[in-house]
């Protein structure tokens, strides 16, 4: 399973606190605003908005809150001031870290992101230094329950998935970004429970680190995602069970 999916699982487990939930809703609201700005307020004709709404509902964001965010974005306001910016660098031990931000203050965002890298023992790099290590994919995490993972894999492949991976009771389905909605719909039509589905950046190859540096990299990712301007963080770190345990016990 890719590091992205494992990291997403960790975030879901740790994101139950009200303060985290409030910040998550704010970030989802910003992403809704950008999606509306780019493709209009109708989710049927705006794939990005449709996917953000789905993620918001998975995060238990109330539908009236989602509707208000769409209405606010339709009138301009906050969305007009937001910039989408990517920052790239290296974590402790040298794993690539790519940060996607949505901000109304570029100077604040880069200062806070650079500080997080420096405090963690990593370094913020130049634009393009690690982006080439990642590729866009649709990532669907499926809870297979009592169903045969091979059966789920065949359903996903028949629906247009590119790859299927199984680990720790979770089936990860990778698609082309444009096929994400169709594959998800096919899985759900077959009675498959989808835990999450999103467009993401997936590393082409992964880098193993010792437990100490791997755990430190995960803590850096957590610090980055705690920043208000940061939407998502990706890494090409190979996430072993030992590294995850070191992080979770630290």
**pLDDT value of residue 121:** 96
Give first-to-last CA distance, the chain, whole Å.
23
pLDDT digits (tens, 9 = 90+) for 161-201: 999 888 766 788 999 999 999 999 999 998 888 888 999 99
**pLDDT value of residue 167:** 73
User: Which residues does 89 contact at the CB level (< 8 Å), separation at least 6?
Assistant: 96, 97, 99, 117, 122, 123, 124, 125, 129, 130
**pLDDT value of residue 43:** 94
Task: Evaluate whether 39 touches 49 at the Cβ level (below 8 Å).
Answer: yes
Round to whole Å and give the CA distance between 242 and 250. 12
User: Which residues does 130 contact at the CB level (< 8 Å), separation at least 6?
Assistant: 88, 89, 90, 96, 97, 98, 236
219 and 95 assigned to the same domain: yes
Number of domain units in the chain? 3
93 and 8 assigned to the same domain: no
- Residue 3 predicted with pLDDT over 80: no
Share of the chain above pLDDT 90, in %: 64
Instruction: Determine the average pLDDT of the residues in 124-146.
Output: 91
Buried b or exposed e, range 81-112, using 16+ CB within 10 angstroms: ebeebebbbbbbbebbbbbbbbbeeeeebbeb
Domain boundaries, position 20: 3-81
**pLDDT value of residue 18:** 57
The beta strands (E) that lie in 17-82 are given as: none
43 and 141 assigned to the same domain: no
119 and 213 assigned to the same domain: yes
143 and 193 assigned to the same domain: yes
pLDDT digits (tens, 9 = 90+) for 204-242: 999 999 989 999 999 999 999 999 999 999 999 988 777
- Identify the CATH number of the domain in which residue 229 sits: 3.30.70.980
118 and 155 assigned to the same domain: no
112 and 163 assigned to the same domain: no
Round to whole Å and give the CA distance between 38 and 90. 31
Mean pLDDT rounded to a whole number for the chain:
87
The DSSP 8-state label assigned to residue 192 in this structure reads P
Instruction: Determine the average pLDDT of the residues in 2-19.
Output: 57
74 and 7 assigned to the same domain: yes
- Residue 250 predicted with pLDDT over 70: no
- Residue 36 predicted with pLDDT over 70: yes
Task: Evaluate whether 130 touches 88 at the Cβ level (below 8 Å).
Answer: yes
Round to whole Å and give the CA distance between 191 and 160. 17
- Identify the CATH number of the domain in which residue 28 sits: 1.10.10.200
75 and 12 assigned to the same domain: yes
pLDDT digits (tens, 9 = 90+) for 173-184: 999 999 999 999
**pLDDT value of residue 1:** 45
């Amino acid at each position: 399973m890719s590091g992205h999916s494992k990291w997403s699982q960790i975030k879901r487990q740790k994101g139950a606190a009200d303060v985290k939930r409030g910040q998550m809703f704010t970030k989802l609201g910003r992403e809704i605003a950008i999606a509306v700005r780019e493709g209009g307020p109708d989710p049927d004709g705006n794939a990005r908005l449709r996917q953000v709404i789905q993620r918001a509902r998975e995060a238990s964001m109330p539908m009236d809150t989602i509707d208000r965010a769409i209405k606010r974005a339709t009138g301009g306001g906050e969305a007009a001031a937001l910039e989408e910016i990517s920052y790239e660098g290296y974590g402790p031990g040298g794993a690539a870290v790519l940060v996607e931000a949505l901000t109304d203050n570029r100077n604040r965002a880069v200062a806070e992101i650079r500080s997080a890298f420096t405090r963690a023992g990593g370094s913020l790099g130049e634009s393009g230094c690690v982006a080439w290590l990642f590729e866009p994919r649709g990532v669907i995490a499926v809870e297979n329950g009592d169903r045969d993972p091979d059966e789920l894999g065949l359903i996903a492949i028949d629906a247009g998935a590119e790859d299927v991976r199984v680990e720790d009771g979770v089936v990860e389905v990778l698609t082309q970004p444009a096929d994400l909605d169709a594959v998800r719909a096919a899985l759900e039509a077959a009675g498959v429970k989808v835990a999450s589905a999103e467009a993401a950046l997936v590393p082409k190859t992964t880098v193993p680190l010792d437990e100490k540096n791997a755990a430190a990299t995960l803590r850096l990712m957590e610090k980055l995602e705690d920043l208000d301007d940061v939407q998502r963080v990706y890494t090409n770190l190979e996430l072993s069970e030992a590294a995850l345990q070191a992080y979770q016990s630290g």
